[in-house]
Amino acid sequence: MSSGNAGSGGREGAPRAAAALCGLYHEAGQRLRRLQDQLAARDVLIARLRARLAALEGDTAPSLVDALLEQVARFREQLRQRDGGAAEAALRQEIERLSKQLEEKERETQQLMSQPEGEQEKEVALLRRSAAQKGRARAASDILCRSLADETHQLRRTLAATAHMCQHLAKCLDERQRTQGDAGERSPEPACADGDGSVHAVVEKLREENRLLKQKVTHVEDLNAKWQRYDASRDEYVRGLHAQLRGLQAPLEAERPSPPELMRKEISRLNTQLEEKINDCAEARRELAAARRARDAALERVQMLEQQILAYKDDFTSERVDRERAQSRIQELEEQVALLQRQVPWKQQEDGFCSHSSPTDAAAEVTSPGTWFSLSRRHRVLHGRQAGAPRTQLAPHTQLRDLP
């Protein structure tokens, strides 16, 4: 009965290990596709920011922006090469090597089973086979758990970066709303300063993306180093298992009877460890799903803030055009007022000349329409000066209403 249970457990463990390896391969493929989608989204965002920068300031600081974009493209290419090549090649090599080991173990167990020996030797062979399969399943579950933990860590870092970007955008939006309240009282020079500030904000955002890409590159390098360390530790673990197997074979050859109860306890212990690892993997999957939901919510908020920023930018541009048009009209009217004020002394000289002239000439001048207009306007000016009314600087809209 014990040999039958061990054989059935070994036969069930091999497909489980293969399924775990296939799941690991699919997880790696999905992760690679997600990274490619993130890179595509970064490309779209960089193109949109570059177009916005060109629309705001034309050719302001092109060398800095081009250098940043080239550096971002270089890091993106390195990230794509390392993610696409190294991870996939390592996974393929690992799957091929594990498949070869599985086939070799299957052949060895078939040879051991085909040998006409006693019932105890068959039971020992089945127990060894089940123990090896449990070890492979445990190694596969360890790999899967580590990959899930790394992906969870990366998603947490991405979520932190997204939250930082959201805070930055919210701060920019609050500053824009505060500055729009005083936009009507400012001259076009602060508008230019605001444009420079937006350009600096875009440059800072590009630098932030460059920093995030550098962090991703370092993260990929760390993953490669971890894979190498894991390969070395796995080889050492396999060598240790072979040494333990040889150590078990030597006492079995010297003494025929073997304690099957210890093997059953070891198998039960390995089963409990496997169940614990499976539970840990399920918990990691739940945490990963929660992190993905939080990331999606943060991305939606970022898109909403970007749309609000674009709307505020359009409103600010239209208000700036209206202010410039009103300022030009005010300057024209001020020039006309200055011209009329310069004509006042000349009109006063004419009045003095007219006082020395004959009454008939003065009457003729008064009866003419143009002279009557000039005299009435001069009378109003002189009356205002005699009354001692202070000249106050009116607001631009008040000057537009009061001027004739």
Q: Supply the mean pLDDT for the chain.
A: 68
Instruction: Give the domain extent around 338.
Output: 331-389+397-402
pLDDT-above-90 percentage for the chain = 6
247-304 pLDDT tens trace? 766 655 555 545 567 778 888 888 888 888 888 888 888 888 888 888 888 888 888 8
The pLDDT of residue 390? 42
Q: Are residues 252 and 347 in the same domain?
A: no
Distance CA(7)–CA(112), nearest Å, equals: 13
Q: Are residues 69 and 116 in the same domain?
A: yes
What does DSSP assign to residue 403?
Answer: -
Angle between helices 119-181 and 88-114 (to 10 degrees): 160
- Report residue 10's pLDDT band, with 50, 70 and 90 as the boundaries: very low
- Report residue 97's pLDDT band, with 50, 70 and 90 as the boundaries: confident
For the chain, what is the domain count? 2
Long-range contacts of 258-266 (CB under 8 A, 24+ apart): 258/120, 258/124, 260/2, 260/123, 260/127, 263/6, 263/124, 263/127, 263/131, 264/2, 266/131
Return the number of other C-beta atoms located less than 10 Å from residue 355's C-beta. 8
Residue 110 phi, psi (nearest 5): -65, -40
Q: Are residues 25 and 39 in the same domain?
A: yes
Q: Are residues 99 and 154 in the same domain?
A: yes
Q: Which amino acid is at 156?
A: R
Looking at the predicted structure, is the pLDDT value of residue 188 above 70?
no
The pLDDT of residue 147? 74
The pLDDT of residue 3? 45
Q: Are residues 253 and 368 in the same domain?
A: no
Average pLDDT over residues 107-128: 66
Q: Are residues 279 and 363 in the same domain?
A: no
237 CB contacts (<8 Å, ≥6 apart)? 139
Q: What is the 3-state secondary structure (H, E, C) of 338-372?
A: HHHHHHHHHHHHHHHHHHHCCHHHHHHHHHCHHHH
Q: Are residues 157 and 73 in the same domain?
A: yes
196-234 pLDDT tens trace? 566 567 667 777 876 787 777 677 667 767 777 776 777
Distance CA(220)–CA(214), nearest Å, equals: 10
Supply the pTM of this predicted model.
0.22
Pick 368 or 144 by higher pLDDT.
144
Q: Are residues 364 and 228 in the same domain?
A: no
54-63 pLDDT tens trace? 666 544 445 5
The pLDDT of residue 371? 43
Q: Are residues 31 and 113 in the same domain?
A: yes
Looking at the predicted structure, is the pLDDT value of residue 327 above 90?
yes
The pLDDT of residue 333? 94
Q: Are residues 274 and 343 in the same domain?
A: no
- Report residue 324's pLDDT band, with 50, 70 and 90 as the boundaries: very high
What does DSSP assign to residue 186?
Answer: S
Looking at the predicted structure, is the pLDDT value of residue 376 above 70?
no
Q: What is the 3-state secondary structure (H, E, C) of 14-32?
A: HHHHHHHHHHHHHHHHHHH
